[in-house]
Structures are given as structure tokens and as C-alpha cells.
Amino acid sequence: MSIHEETQLTKAYDLGLIGRLLRYAKPHYKKIMLSICLVVLITIADLCGPYLIKIAIDDHINGISLPMVDVSGTNAAAVAPAVSYGSWLLVRERELEGKFPLDQLQGKQRFRIVKNGMSTELAELSASGGTTVVAQLAQADVDRFRSQDIGALYRLSGFYLLLVSATFLLNYTQTYTLNLIAQKIIYTLRANLFAHLQRLSFRFFDRNPVGRLVTRVTNDTQTLNDMYSNVMINLIKDVFMLIGIMIVMLSLNVRLALVSFLTLPLIIAATLVYRKYAREAMREVRIKLAQINATLNENITGMRVVQMFHREAQQNRKVEAINRSHFDANTKELHVSSLYRPVMDFVYAIGLALLIWFGGGQMVQGAVEFGVLYAFVDYINRFFKPIQDLAEKFTILQQSMVSSERIFELLDEKDDLPEPARPIHLEKVEGSVVFDNVSFAYNPGEWVLKQIDLTIKPGETVAFVGATGAGKSSIISLLCRFYDVQEGSIRLDGTDIRDLPKQELRRHIGLVQQDVFLFSEDIKTNIRLGNDALSNEDIRRLCEYVNADVFIEKLPRGYDEPVMERGANLSAGQRQLIAIARTLAFNPSILILDEATANIDTETELLIQDAFRKISSGRTTIIVAHRLSTIQHADKIVVLHKGTIRETGTHQELLQKNGLYWKLYELQYQEAFSAEADKAATN
């Protein structure tokens, strides 16, 4: 698969993915339960706000417009709440219902129904027929009566302020707790993802470019962080809020509530359509993002080649094409997500218009109080707010589902180099290596090595030579168990390397490659590589031993000199010397030199050759080389040709055979002779 291609996940199981995501949240269930409890309290507090305002409007602010009744008599004290002055009790007429029925008043009790201090209605409550007394309440009496409303408004305002303050503290605690949980979950997930990547074989990395994997570990996990922090608990809060609002609306006025709920079918239909198209669009965006990261990584890494061959325009067109496809995918997603919120706004406007039309008519007729209508307007706004926010939450949720598909696809990737079921541990490695009828292919049927039989004795130096593609580096990869053989076996001290734990096997092997990789740390850290037992003085002695101190001590900061990315501030020979010191620091039983002296100047090569002679003493040494002059001292030279062993022997023995090795040697000798002749002619 090209790095510009992505696997297409055509079917997603949301419940299964959510289940796996929730397993990462399980260790934090106590804090999650706390967040849910806080959400319940916040929801209750939010629901109380409009109801308190409704009470303030209908029972107190508009209280002056309600009928006032003056009642005196032996049973008048049973009426509450009331304001007493003289022999009279002032109560609102509606407060008599169920508490002090008018038809139970004793004879000759008088009452007045007054609006704004003026008599508006007279009535007789005498069972035996009495006289009606007409009187007008003084303004002072009305003000005294209204003082009850003013006091109640003060109390309601204070309680509302207290409620808002408590809601603020609850929201802060819930938000902090939830984001802390999300950060811990993403920390664990990202750590597990990277640890899993480190366990996968080279074959996996052959198939997957770096940019794609970086997208998994960074962008996709960050998307999941948004889901945990913004969606997981807040979605529960929205559900609680919707259910709570529906209950309160039904308790206030059933008919108004039913009118408000007429838009629910439109909401459900719009959400289902959005879900269908949003998932496809967001999956395409994640695919294109991974392609961009892979392409950028490739081009930035190969920038020297691009500039050397003046390929800036061509590479720019390639990146532009992929960038355009990403832009088109984002535009498609934007069309879908941009349509959902306006649709919800339109449905909200329809619901509000229905409520004002029906509720306003009911209020004009006196069937509904203004405070109730206000509460419904507030509640329907609160009802649609989580639904409108659902567009954003649903976008995050869909992005999270797509990202989780990618992440769990990576986590489900099986290691094709499994650890042995019954591992064998070697207390001491002598360095005997046996290739027993080994055959290997990177791709099925395309054999790179065929029936390799070879024995390397402990402490022996063996060199592999041959044309490019003969299989030299593949033998090294198999010995280090970067890949597994398809046929035959490789034995270390008589034990099949597949029966050894991979880390234990590689701990006994030191590999110095042609292309040395150095981390963006200082020099001593690149040599130590986490081996805390190695002191700074030990590092200096190692570097002196392998001749690396010659250039390190000339650097401005010496062993503390920072190494630029990929060791760009060091020459190839200097990187090789650091790699040799690094290898020796781990004291391997088997030393492998894979084209370690290729493209090195003569002076540095002499230093490296001297270092090789020192560190190979007493160790099994395997050398892969094109330059035959560097392997003439080897105990055994193995000539590979098209994946098979063609010749084996010492340098002199192979020359006497006058075979493939002799041809390689003659060719290199002629090249060297021609180079010397050209140099002499130039001088």
C-alpha cells in the first residue's frame, strides 16, 4: 500500500467502540460518578431558575392585579398567608381555595374585593342574609398588603443569587474533574498505543509510513480527548436537562407542553439524516489528514534530495493535490455540519411561534398567567439549547468514532513476531550461530534467501559479500529477529532464536549500521541510551577506546554538545564512531557491522577500523561490506548471489578459486587503479 493510501473502514460498530472506550474510563469510575452527581445537581439548579422567575412574576410582581379579599370573623385566622390590620385580614382570593372556602364563612362576615385600592366588586357572604357594607381600602392599607410581595421578591432574588453561585461552583468542580479524567484517559491510551507500536515487527512499519502512525498517536487521540471532556458527561447532562424540562413543562400546563413538543418529530428526523452523512464525511477527513501527515513527513525527510534535483515544483504539486483532497473532504463535512444547526434553529423558531400563538391566546383569555408563559418560553429555549449544541457534540462524537476506529485498528494489529509461549533463557551467550536451511521472503513467493546453511563459531569473524540485493542485510535482520524465517531455523548457542525472548536476544547483539540514527539529545545521552549504570567517566573511556574522543573533545561543549535532528551537525564518520561507542557500552556477545565503513573518508576509516579491531576481540563478529579491502582479515568470507551461498573461505582461499569473489575483487581493484590513474593524470 502506498503511503498516500489509507485503509477504508466501511462499517463501524458504535456500541462496540464506545464499550472499548469506556473500559479506559473504568479505573476512574469514582470520579465519573461524582461528575454525574454534580450534573444532576446542576440540572436541578438550572431547572429551578425559570420556575423561581415564574413565581416572582405571577405571585408577586403581578400581585397588585389579583383580587384582594378582606375577611373577619372567628375562622378568619385559618386563612394564610395573610396580612393583619385592625380586625381585618387581607388575603388574595385564590389563596382561599382549598383553605377557607367562601361558602363556609360565618354569617355577617364582610369581605371586599379590591384592585389597585379601588372597590370593583361587592358580594354578600351571609348565609342568613345580612347587609353589605361598601368600603374602599386606603392606599396605605394596599401598600401594607404589597409589602408582603416586596419582601418575597427580596427573598426570591437572594435565593436566585445563591442558586446561581452554587451552580457556578458545581460547574467549575464538574468541569475540572471531567477534564482531569479525560487527560488521564488520553495519557493512558497514548502510552498504550506507543508501547504497542514498539512491540510490532519491522514488517508492520514497512507497510505503514511514519506520518500515518503519528496521526494515530497525536491527532486521533486528541479527538478522543475532546469526546471524553466535552461529550461523555455533558451528553448525560443534556439528557437529564431534556427530561427535566419536559417534566416541569407538563406539570405547569399540559396543553402548552404538548404544543411545545409538536416539533420533536422534526428534531429526530433531522438528527438521523445528519448522523448518516456526517459519519461518512468525517471518516473521509481523517483519511485525508493521515495522507497529508505521511506525505509531509516523506517530503520534509527527503528535502535534501528534493532541493538537490530541483524537484520543488513537482513535489509541491503532489502535496497540493493531497492538500486539495483534504480541503474538499473538510468542505463536504462543513456542508453537512453547517446545515444541521440552521435546521435546528428553524425548528426552534417554529416551536417558539407555536408557543406564542397558543400560549398568548390562552393568556389573553385569562386561562394562562404571564409567568407561566414566560417560563415556557425560557424552558423551550433551554430545551433547544442542548439539541442545538448536539450538532457540535455529535460532530465530536462522530470524529471520535472515526478516530477510535483507527486507534483500535492499530491496537488490534497482531505482532507477527510473537514472544515464545515457553521462553528459554540463556545465562551466558558464547556466540555460536547456525543457519539451518534458512529460506526467507518479504512477500510470499518472492524468495530473498534460499536454503542458507552456515555455521559461525564463537569468537569467529565472518564477512558477507555480494552484489546489491544478494541478501546480505536480510541475513542480519533475521539474526536480530526483525523478521521470522519461513523455512528452516536460526540457532544461537544451539537454541532456536524463536524460543528466546526478543529483548533478551537483542541484548546480546550489537548492531552498527551504515545509516546511523542519533536522537536529538547531547552526545553522551546518545551513547548512554538510558543505561543509567554508565557514568560520564565510563562514556569518556569508551570514546577514547574507540577513537571517538578525537573529535568529541574538539566540539564546543564536548560530550554535552547537542545533536541536531538525524545528526545533521555531525559527519557520517563521526556518527559511526558514536554508534560504535554506543554499541560497546552494552557489551554485546555478537557484533554486527552492516556496511559500517561505507562512504567514509580514509582518515576516519582508519579510526573506525582500529575501533573495530578492538571491540571485535573475543566476540563473534559479522561484517557486511561492499569494500573487500575491509574484510581481508576475516576468518571466513561468505559470498552471496541471488539469495544463495555461492562461495565460502578465507580471502586467499577465495582468490585462488578464481570464482565470483575473485571477479568482485578484480572489479574493485580495477576501479581503484583507474581512480588512482585519473588522480595522477589530474595532478
DSSP 421: S
Mean pLDDT score across all residues of the chain: 77
Residue 556, amino acid: P
For position 132, what pLDDT does the model report?
A: 35
**Helix or strand or coil: residue 120?**
strand
**Superfamily name and number for 14-35+199-411:** ABC transporter type 1, transmembrane domain (1.20.1560.10)
Terminal-to-terminal C-alpha distance of the chain = 52
Q: Given pLDDT bands bounded at 50, 70 and 90, which one contains residue 118? A: very low
For 380-436, write each residue's pLDDT tens digit. 888 887 776 766 677 677 777 778 888 888 888 887 788 888 888 888 888 899 999
**HSE-CB for 475 with a 13 A CA cutoff:** 38
For 10-56, write each residue's pLDDT tens digit. 444 467 777 888 888 888 888 888 888 888 898 888 888 888 888 88
Of 192 and 599, the structure prediction assigns the larger pLDDT to 192
Strands 620-624 and 590-594: parallel
Architecture of the CATH domain 433-682 = 3-Layer(aba) Sandwich (3.40)
Hey, which of 42-46, 127-131, 277-281, 489-493 has the most confident mean pLDDT? 489-493
Q: Which of 11-20, 468-477, 522-531, 623-632 has the lowest mean pLDDT?
A: 11-20
For position 29, what pLDDT does the model report?
A: 85
pTM for the model stands at 0.67
Query: How many angstroms separate the Cα of 386 from the Cα of each of 43, 141, 234?
Result: 12, 48, 9
Q: Residue 643 contacts by C-beta under 8 Å, 6 or more apart in sequence?
A: 447, 448, 449, 450, 470, 471
**Helix or strand or coil: residue 509?**
strand
For 445-471, write each residue's pLDDT tens digit. 889 999 999 999 998 999 999 888 888
**Residue 220 in contact with residue 9, Cβ under 8 Å?**
no
For 238-277, write each residue's pLDDT tens digit. 888 888 888 888 988 888 888 888 888 888 888 777 777 7
CB count in 10 Å sphere of residue 483: 19
For position 68, what pLDDT does the model report?
A: 52
Report phi then psi at 569, rounded to 5: -90, 10
Q: Which three cell numbers stand for residue 469?
A: 540485493
Q: Which of 41-55, 70-84, 197-211, 414-428 has the lowest mean pLDDT?
A: 70-84
Q: Which three cell numbers stand for residue 427?
A: 545465562
Q: Does residue 514 register a pLDDT over 70?
A: yes
Of 461 and 236, the structure prediction assigns the larger pLDDT to 461
Q: Given pLDDT bands bounded at 50, 70 and 90, which one contains residue 489? A: very high
Hey, which of 163-172, 312-321, 529-538 has the most confident mean pLDDT? 163-172
Query: How many angstroms separate the Cα of 105 from the Cα of each of 82, 126, 134?
Result: 16, 8, 18
Strands 68-71 and 113-115: antiparallel
Q: Does residue 600 register a pLDDT over 70?
A: no
* Concatenated DSSP letters of 485-552: -SEEEEEETTEEGGGS-HHHHHHTEEEEESS----SSBHHHHHHTT-TTS-HHHHHHHHHHTTTHHHH
% of the chain beyond a pLDDT of 90: 10
**Residue 595 in contact with residue 626, Cβ under 8 Å?**
yes
Q: Residue 107 contacts by C-beta under 8 Å, 6 or more apart in sequence?
A: 126, 127, 128, 130
* Concatenated DSSP letters of 45-60: HHHHHHHHHHHIIIII
**Residue 31 in contact with residue 25, Cβ under 8 Å?**
no
Q: Where are the domains of the chain?
A: 14-35+199-411, 433-682
For position 122, what pLDDT does the model report?
A: 33
Question: What's the rounded Cα separation, in Å, for the pair 31 and 177?
Answer: 7
For 137-151, write each residue's pLDDT tens digit. 556 666 766 777 788
Q: Which three cell numbers stand for residue 67?
A: 383580587
Which residue, 454, 510, 439, is CA-closest to 480? 510
Q: Given pLDDT bands bounded at 50, 70 and 90, which one contains residue 550? A: confident
C-alpha dihedral sign at 209, 215, 218, 220: negative
Question: What's the rounded Cα separation, in Å, for the pair 25 and 177?
Answer: 13
Q: Which three cell numbers stand for residue 481?
A: 529477529
Which residue, 234, 238, 261, 237, is CA-closest to 249? 261
Question: What's the rounded Cα separation, in Å, for the pair 633 and 613?
Answer: 10
Q: Cell 519491522, residue? A: 202
Report phi then psi at 568, rounded to 5: -65, -25
**Residue 35 in contact with residue 28, Cβ under 8 Å?**
no
For position 64, what pLDDT does the model report?
A: 58
Q: Does residue 83 register a pLDDT over 60?
A: no
Q: Given pLDDT bands bounded at 50, 70 and 90, which one contains residue 9? A: very low
Q: Does residue 527 register a pLDDT over 70?
A: yes
Residue 534, amino acid: L
Q: Given pLDDT bands bounded at 50, 70 and 90, which one contains residue 309? A: low
Q: Does residue 169 register a pLDDT over 90?
A: yes
For 274-304, write each residue's pLDDT tens digit. 777 776 777 777 778 777 777 777 777 777 6
Question: What's the rounded Cα separation, in Å, for the pair 463 and 649?
Answer: 10
For 348-368, write each residue's pLDDT tens digit. 888 888 888 888 888 777 778
Q: Which three cell numbers stand for residue 53?
A: 422567575
CB count in 10 Å sphere of residue 548: 29
**Residue 590 in contact with residue 583, Cβ under 8 Å?**
no
**Residue 622 in contact with residue 479, Cβ under 8 Å?**
yes
Which residue, 236, 328, 222, is CA-closest to 284? 328
Q: Does residue 559 register a pLDDT over 90?
A: no
Question: What's the rounded Cα separation, in Å, for the pair 237 and 229?
Answer: 13
DSSP 662: H
| Class of residue 478 by CB neighbours under 10 A (exposed 0-12, middle 13-18, buried 19+) | buried
Which residue, 660, 610, 647, 659, is CA-closest to 630? 610
For position 361, what pLDDT does the model report?
A: 82
Q: Does residue 129 register a pLDDT over 90?
A: no
Question: What's the rounded Cα separation, in Å, for the pair 683 and 674?
Answer: 14
Q: Does residue 82 register a pLDDT over 70?
A: no
For position 384, what pLDDT does the model report?
A: 81
